[in-house]
Amino acid sequence: MPKIRSFSAPWLQEPNPGHKLFEQAEETNRLPASIASSRNASQGPNRTIAHRGNEVFVARGREIRWGDLADLKDAWEAQQSRTGSASHLNGDGSDSSFEVYDEETSRLPQGPGYRVIKTPVASEIRQLVISPNKDQLAVLTSHTVHVCMLPDTSHLTSGETAPFKPKFWTVGPTTHVTSKSAVVSALWHPLGVNGSCLVTVTEDAVVREWELSTIDRWSFDTPTLEVDLKKLADGTSLDQDFGASTSTNKAFSPDDFDMKVASACFASRNSNGWAPMTLWVAMAEGDVYALCPLLPRRWSPPPTLIPSLSVSVAQKIETLETDPEATREEKLLAKQQLEWMADLDNQEPKLLDGPYGEVTEVYSRPSRPGSIPRLQGPFELAVAPQDEQDDEVELKDIFVIGAKRNTADLMMGEDFELYADDDDKDSLSVSVICLLSTSGQVKVCLDIDGVEAQWLPPRNASTRAFPDQAIPSLLVFHTFDTLKPAEMTPDSWPVFSEDVTTRYAFYVTHAAGITYVSLAPWVSLLESELQSDSEAGADFRFDLMVKGQRAEVDRIYTPQHAQNVLAAATAFKSSDLGHFVLSATHNDPVIMFFDTPESELMSDRQETPMSTEHGETPEPLTVWEPRPLFHPSEVLSRPSTLPPWVDALRTSRKRPLMQQEVRLSVATLEIFTEGHRLVSSEVFELNNAVAELFRKCEALTYELKEQITKVYEVNQRIETISGEGESRSTKEQNISEEMLVRNRIDVMKVRQENLARRVENLRKRLGQVSTRELSDKEKAWAEEVRNLAGSILGDEEEEEDTTSASISTAGKSLKRFEEVQSLRDALFEQAQQLQSTDSVDGTASPMPVMKIPSEIRKQKVAQVMSLLDRETALVEAVKSRLEKLSIE
């Protein structure tokens, strides 16, 4: 998992303006924290944070607060830089670039980097879901859905201080109302045209598709597709009506309990096959259903989706034609898929301009065999007995990771290959479905069989009497808990959140904290097992892998107040801010910064000079560990309710009692009883807040002592490395810190002078070097030297080509060297013999004695000596070259 670097962002902490983004709304300021948090927990998932790049949208009450985190950070850094300069500060030391928070009106100040967005909602906002193109924002309350047309960033940073009022549209003004079922999920369809298709799922298991268009108001009033899953589960043919019932009087049905929707989810757009058009629905009772293919009336597939579906359907039909055991239902399903693909192939796609200058191909939803698919499920979960949950535990959220794209089958027989994304390299060829319950238990399931498109049979006698279809199943690969038994609450609503670094990592947010989960440890190993052709020992290998490989599960944040309800964690990764996760309590932000690969590389580079003698880099000693910020309880800053109560008494019918002496009466007893209730509740909360603050201060002293101890250890290591520790250990040398610093400075000064002197000498020598061209005699001499070297050492170019050529040249040079030595020895022996015969006989030689002048003799001797010196130099050169060749 990524290492947490920090738990704080100063530009988002109080009293900076960025903290105002996360403060309570006006209508909840006067509510106790326990009441507000319990009310938030009972109304559904809390997804109140959405982002667009560095921009963040935070829902507080009935308003949305927009902020640019990069601008807030830059403004805070600029303010800190101006704080050190008195010329940029006011007389009281405050910065005038930010407005002061107005305590009387409790209004969020406007300024650079943040702004208030007014909404037409009538109740508290529960979810914010941003569209794939980042131009629309779905705003959900418990029963209503609104869509905000997000303006460009330049409009929000234009310098205006008034609250911004963008265009809002109400989705289903007569459908999603408080008198009908609650909305549990609103999803932007991954295959919608320019991300404009919204899918809403209500608690009563009704799925609606809204293909939104700003130029067509009717698209917000009526859905293009409406499916009642309870009717579809009992359907028998395509011709039935599966729309939601419009009558308000409903009879009792067991499906109202078994098919109470908790959450729904799509796979990502770049998933393989049928996954992007499959809607997974999790019921509160524990059942899981799939609806495939669920498409809008006009949809835009990725470039490889339709070819991959054509290949899979063709392979399936070819397999069924050669399989004698194929059932009639399987053949009918293959025929329906072929009709669906034929209708799709006969279309001519329309080309539309995308948001970033891209051209988008738009197809119409095939009309054959039908627009409403068959409901697949409930899926049977292969759960071990020890992993089965209690009957009272309910599912709360579902998260689907689609299978990777199979480009190998798609490009079979082609001369080139499709480009594979980095996410597809270490991905699974099966879909992963994660289920989350109220107890914090996460089940990681694998769709081994693969969900494919299915429709109900047509309405005729020959195909209606099929036997019951086999129950689909999901393989429960891994089960783990994210909550302790003491942290479980029946009214909690934990949720999943995606990670931005890898598709196989996510966050689980619940009232007890935020948990990071990574499935990467077993994904690559499982994919290699699935792709292997060997079936020998497959059961043993899978069993060993299931028992050995586990997901990385780590609690990265635990709130200090147990009653706080955390917003769903939102992951960010940008070059300006880094990699971090943002959440929020009812009044404060929660942020965790992670180490990015760039920072890890920089730290490695900084630690390289500290390598040891063996070439190993020692790990740096951690002086302090990051820990969450401590926020004192808001009870300490909350105004007392006693003065307003006293003012209310002075204007009530008990006003005469406030102006006279205390007398024993029923009215006086009522006043004292009510006053005691108010004072006792406030005193109790204040005592708890002060006790918590005292415990934190007491723990802070121990943490400070621990940090001082670690700093002392680092100091000892530095002194040991620099050699100053031994000198201090001796009592004979009692040198102060100042003397040590001065001595070190003197040594460095002397070293600097020596380096400057050496540089000056080198500069003078380089200045004396002539850069003129060689003369003709020098060129002739160099050519003669090259010829002589070639005649003695052979051709150097051939020598550098291969090792065999080098060995042959070395042999020639050695042979020639030996011949020269033998000739020299023979000449020396002859000269010695002549000298010995002349000295012994003392007689004149039979040869005529020639008188050679002394000048000529001296010249000849000088020539011989020069030749000998030259020959000696050549011999030494040959010897050194032979030594180099032998070394190589």
Chain centroid to CA 373: 35
pLDDT digits (tens, 9 = 90+) for 608-657: 444 434 444 444 445 567 777 777 777 787 788 888 888 888 888 777 87
pTM: 0.71
Q: With 50 as the cut, is the pLDDT of residue 528 above it? A: yes
Nearest to 21 by CA among 587, 634, 559: 587
Omega of the bond leading into 597 within 30 degrees of 0 (cis):
no
3-state secondary structure of 523: helix
Q: With 90 as the cut, is the pLDDT of residue 838 above it? A: no
Nearest to 21 by CA among 30, 12, 31, 29: 12
Nearest to 645 by CA among 621, 679, 669, 618: 679
CA distance 64 to 168: 12
Backbone angles phi, psi at 132, to 5 degrees: -60, -35
Q: Which two tokens stand for residue 172?
A: 């289903």
How many CB atoms within 10 Å of residue 340? Answer: 22
Q: With 50 as the cut, is the pLDDT of residue 751 above it? A: yes
Q: With 80 as the cut, is the pLDDT of residue 343 above it? A: yes
Q: Across the chain, how many H-helices and E-strands are there?
A: 21, 32
Q: With 60 as the cut, is the pLDDT of residue 310 above it? A: yes
Higher pLDDT, 315 or 199: 199
Cβ atoms of 159 and 138 within 8 Å: the answer is no
CA distance 693 to 325: 73
Q: What is the pLDDT of residue 499?
A: 92
CA distance 822 to 831: 14
Nearest to 312 by CA among 275, 273, 363, 342: 273
**Percent share of the chain, pLDDT over 90:** 23
Q: What is the pLDDT of residue 717?
A: 79
Could you tell me which residues come within 8 angstroms of residue 310 by beta carbon, excluding any fewer than 6 positions away? Answer: 341, 345
Can you give the residue ranges of every domain in the chain? Answer: 1-171+565-608, 783-823+868-888
Cβ atoms of 566 and 510 within 8 Å: the answer is yes
Which helix (H) or strand (E) is 780 found in, with range? helix 776-793
* Average pLDDT over all residues of the chain: 78
Q: What is the pLDDT of residue 600?
A: 46
* Residue located via tokens 């009336």: 297
192 CB-side CA count, 13 A: 20
Q: Which two tokens stand for residue 796?
A: 């150097």
Could you tell me which residues come within 8 angstroms of residue 701 by beta carbon, excluding any fewer than 6 positions away? Answer: none
Higher pLDDT, 492 or 534: 492
- Asked whether the CA dihedral 249, 253, 257, 262 is positive or negative, the reply is negative
Mean pLDDT for 741-759 is: 89
Mean pLDDT for 575-583 is: 90
- Of the listed ranges 22-31, 259-268, 572-581, 768-777, the least confidently predicted one is 22-31
Q: Which amino acid is at 53?
A: G
Residues in the chain: 888
Q: Which amino acid is at 509?
A: T
Ranked by mean pLDDT, the top range of 138-142, 240-244, 359-363, 717-721 is 138-142
* Residue located via tokens 């924002």: 137
Mean pLDDT for 496-507 is: 92
Q: Which two tokens stand for residue 813?
A: 């040079």
Sheet holding 431-437, edge to edge: 380-382, 473-481, 441-447, 431-437, 395-401
pLDDT digits (tens, 9 = 90+) for 779-792: 888 888 888 777 66
Residues pairing with 67 in the sheet: 56, 114
Residue 590 burial class via C-beta count within 10 angstroms: exposed 0-12, middle 13-18, buried 19 and up: buried
Backbone angles phi, psi at 9, to 5 degrees: -130, 105
Alpha carbon of 811 to those of 540, 800, 814, 821: distances in Å?
63, 15, 5, 15
Instruction: State the pairing for strand pair 350-353/359-364.
Output: antiparallel
Q: What is the pLDDT of residue 791?
A: 67
Higher pLDDT, 367 or 200: 200
How many CB atoms within 10 Å of residue 84? Answer: 8
3-state secondary structure of 788: helix
Cβ atoms of 831 and 807 within 8 Å: the answer is no
CA distance 437 to 439: 5
Q: Which amino acid is at 442?
A: V
Cβ atoms of 50 and 129 within 8 Å: the answer is yes
Cβ atoms of 57 and 64 within 8 Å: the answer is yes
H-only helix segments in 346-432 = 407-410
Which helix (H) or strand (E) is 136 found in, with range? strand 136-140
Higher pLDDT, 534 or 807: 534
Backbone angles phi, psi at 593, to 5 degrees: -95, 135
CA distance 337 to 314: 10
Q: With 70 as the cut, is the pLDDT of residue 402 above it? A: yes
- Asked whether the CA dihedral 242, 244, 246, 250 is positive or negative, the reply is positive
Q: What is the pLDDT of residue 290?
A: 94
CA distance 887 to 292: 72
Q: Which amino acid is at 92?
A: D
Q: Which two tokens stand for residue 811?
A: 């042999």
Q: Which two tokens stand for residue 536?
A: 């020998």
Q: With 50 as the cut, is the pLDDT of residue 96 above it? A: no
CA distance 433 to 429: 13
612 CB-side CA count, 13 A: 6
Backbone angles phi, psi at 840, to 5 degrees: -85, -50
CA distance 577 to 51: 13
CA distance 213 to 297: 13
Q: Which two tokens stand for residue 18?
A: 């960025």
Omega of the bond leading into 378 within 30 degrees of 0 (cis):
yes
Higher pLDDT, 211 or 837: 211
pLDDT digits (tens, 9 = 90+) for 409-431: 555 545 445 545 555 567 788 89
Instruction: State the pairing for strand pair 197-202/183-188.
Output: antiparallel
Could you tell me which residues come within 8 angstroms of residue 340 by beta carbon, excluding any fewer than 6 positions away? Answer: 293, 366, 368, 369, 453
**Percent share of the chain, pLDDT over 70:** 75
3-state secondary structure of 875: helix
CA distance 292 to 278: 5
